[in-house]
Amino acid sequence: QITLKESGPTLVRPTQTLTLTCSFSGFSLSTHAEGVGWIRQSPGKALECLGIIYWDDDKRYNPSLKTRVTITKDTSKNQVVLTMTNMDPVDTATYFCAHTKGFRNGWAIPRYAFDFWGHGTMVTVSS
C-alpha cells in the first residue's frame, strides 16, 4: 500500500526559503515510470502543480515557478524534498505530495496521473 506524508514548518516569514519533506512507503523511486510531485492549494482555491521528480532523476517544474522551486530525492531514505525560495504571503497554501506513475493502456507513451496523495501540510507565510 502506498502512503505519503508531508512534513515541515507551518509558518514561514516572507523572503525566507521553505523546505518540505515528503516521506513515502509502498514504492521505490528507483522503479521505472514512477515519480513524486508537489501540488499546492491556496485556501478555497484550485490546485497548482509545482513540479515532479521521476525515477530517473528527471525533474519537471511549473514554468511559472521554475526559478523558485527545486525538487530532490533520496531514494535510500524514501524521501523527496521541495525547496521554494523567496516565500511571499501569496504562497500561503496547503502543500501536497503525491505519487505519480505512467499508466499504459495500449499507449506508446504513458499517461501520468497522481494516484496516491499525502494529506497535505498547511504553510502560512506571514511576518
* Minimal distance, residue 117 CB to other proteins, in Å: 4
Task: Answer whether 104's CB lies under 8 Å from 112's CB.
Answer: no
120 scored as a contact of other proteins (CB under 8 A):
yes
- Contact present, 12 and 92 (Cβ < 8 Å): no
66: Cα separation from own chain's centroid: 13
CB of 38 to other proteins, least distance (A): 10
CA distance 16 to 68: 11
Binding mask 47-86 for other proteins (x = CB under 8 A): xxx-xx-------xxxxx----------------------
Q: Of the candidates 85, 66, 95, which has an alpha carbon nearest to the alpha carbon of residue 15?
A: 85
- Which one of 82, 96, 121, 123 is in contact with other proteins (CB under 8 A)? 96
Residues contributing to the site for other proteins (CB under 8 A): 37, 46-49, 51-52, 60-64, 96, 98, 103, 105, 107, 111-115, 117-120
